[in-house]
Amino acid sequence: MNQAVAPKARPEFVLAAGDCLVLIRRSLRHLTRNMDEVIQSVVLPIMLLLLFRYLFGGAIQTGGPSYVNYVIAGVLVVSIAFSASATAVGVANDLQNGIVERFRTMPMFSSAMLVGHVVSAVLRNVLAVTLVVLVGLLVGFRPSASLGDWLVACGLLLLFITAISWLATLLGLLAGGVEAASGYAMILVFFPYASSALVPSESMPSVLRAFVENQPFTPIVNAVRGLLIGTPTGNSVWLSVVWWVPVLVLTMAFTVRYFRRHTGK
């Protein structure tokens, strides 16, 4: 009887980290091989920016900054929510394809696959955010942020992107297939639309306004906007942290647990 090749003796967490790296590399290769997805995840946000800048820009009163300056933080948050769909589809696709089944029959750190998906989703989003800001600068966006403001804004966006990516991964796991994953993830897009992302909440009817002012997408939009163009941030920076750190931690914990407990299909 031939013997299975013995794995090298190393501490378990080192091996687990190694598994994560292997599967992060896999997900990054997917990004480079699947250019359609990358183009979509970059083109859509830029289209949104141009749409809002030129189509609605003249009609919407912000009560202060020009609309392009007002809307850029909103476009970033809407784009990030949109990208959840691609992330969820990627996860659902792996489940449907059977590769997750194989991973489960291997003596590896199974959640490494989830980490791979999340890391590639974060990188895809960082690329999209960077491009939206650059195109924004071309069409009239004039940030007034100091270096410190930029760092805090980037930190908040990174927190938000990571939380959304884990949430999308969970939706991909829970959905029964690729189409369902895409559909569920689109629900996330509703929230930034019903926030202060695109229009000031002051213009909304009272019931909607109550929802908008108390849902988690509004503080992140207000905080990023305030940091970038100098509108008042109020308590939105720490409210963003208070909302999104728990969302991130709980979603991550639940997703990993769910993935471990339930078999691939």
Partner 1 sequence: MTGNYAIEARGLRKAFGDLTVLDSVDLRVESGTMLGVLGPNGAGKTTCVRILSTLLGADGGTATIAGHDVMKEPRAVRRVIGLTGQDTAVDELLTGEENLVMMGQLYRLGRSASQKRAVELLDQFGLTDAARRPVKTYSGGMRRRLDLAVSLINSPPVLFLDEPTTGLDPTSRMAMWETIRRLMAAGTTVLLTTQYLEEADQLADRVAVIDGGRVVAEGTADELKRKVGSERVELTFGEADLARARALFDGEHVGMQTLSMPIEGPSDVRDLLNRAASQNLDVKGFALHEPTLDDVFRTLTGAGPRTGATTAADTDGAATGAGAAVGAGATTGETA
Positions touching partner 1 (CB under 8 A) are 1-5, 7-8, 10, 15, 18-19, 22-23, 25-26, 29-30, 33-34, 97-99, 101-108, 112, 263-264
| Minimum CB distance to partner 1, residue 52 (Å) | 34
Task: Write down the least CB distance from residue 119 to partner 1, Å.
Answer: 15
CB of 23 to partner 1, least distance (A): 8
By beta-carbon proximity to partner 1, the closer residue of 107 and 205 is 107
Residue 79: closest CA among 184, 183, 175, 157: 157
Q: Compute CA distances 38 → 35, 116, 164, 249, whole Å.
A: 5, 16, 18, 27
Q: What share of the chain is helix, strand, coil (3-state, %, to 5)?
A: 75, 0, 25
Of 101 and 179, CB closest to partner 1: 101
- Of 157 and 178, nearer to partner 1 (C-beta) is 178
CB of 98 to partner 1, least distance (A): 4
- CA dist., res. 162 & res. 123, Å (int): 10
Q: Kindly tell me which of 142 and 262 has the beta carbon lying closer to partner 1.
A: 262
Minimum distance from residue 108 beta carbon to partner 1 (Å):
5
> By C-beta, is 181 or 199 nearer to partner 1?
181
Place of tokens 């292997």: 22
Least distance (Å) from partner 1 to the CB of residue 92? 14
Angle at 43 between CA 40 and CA 45, to 5 degrees: 105
Query: Which burial class, exposed, middle or buried, applies to 265 when counting CB atoms under 10 A from its CB (0-12, 13-18, 19+)?
Result: exposed
Nearer to partner 1 (CB atom), residue 25 or residue 142: 25
Distance linking the first and last C-alpha atoms of the chain: 33
- The least distance separating partner 1 from the CB of residue 262, rounded to whole angstroms, comes to 11
Question: CA 89 from chain center: how many Å?
Answer: 14
Q: How far is CA 196 from the centre of its chain?
A: 18
Residues in the chain: 265
Give the residue with the Cβ less far from partner 1, 15 or 241.
15
